[in-house]
Amino acid sequence: MPLRCAVCQKVLRDPVSITCGHRFCRQCITRYWEKPAPSGDYDCPQCRKRSRTLPVLHHLSEPNDARGSENSKTTCRHVLSQ
């Protein structure tokens, strides 16, 4: 069964993982983080692990890949500025 995004509940599109290891559609997690928590922290929508800085997105070559590619790291700041 294909993995689904915890934000949109659909099969992962342009899959990325974040520091806690959870996977999301790149567009979903980017939109989710456009409005950080009142504390200013960014959290994982699945496990709620917090980060004071915008977490790094790790591109996954396969939706079921548990690892992010070190050569394909993209920060959310870069994605949001596009």
Give the Cβ contact number of residue 53 at 10 Å. Answer: 11
Cα 11 to Cα 5: distance, rounded to the nearest angstrom: 6
Can you give the residue ranges of every domain in the chain?
A: 15-81
Tens digits of residue pLDDT in 25-76: 999 999 999 987 788 899 999 999 999 999 999 998 865 554 433 333 444 4
- Non-local (6+) Cβ contacts of 78 within 8 A are none
Tens digits of residue pLDDT in 46-59: 999 999 999 999 99
- pTM (global) more than 0.75: no
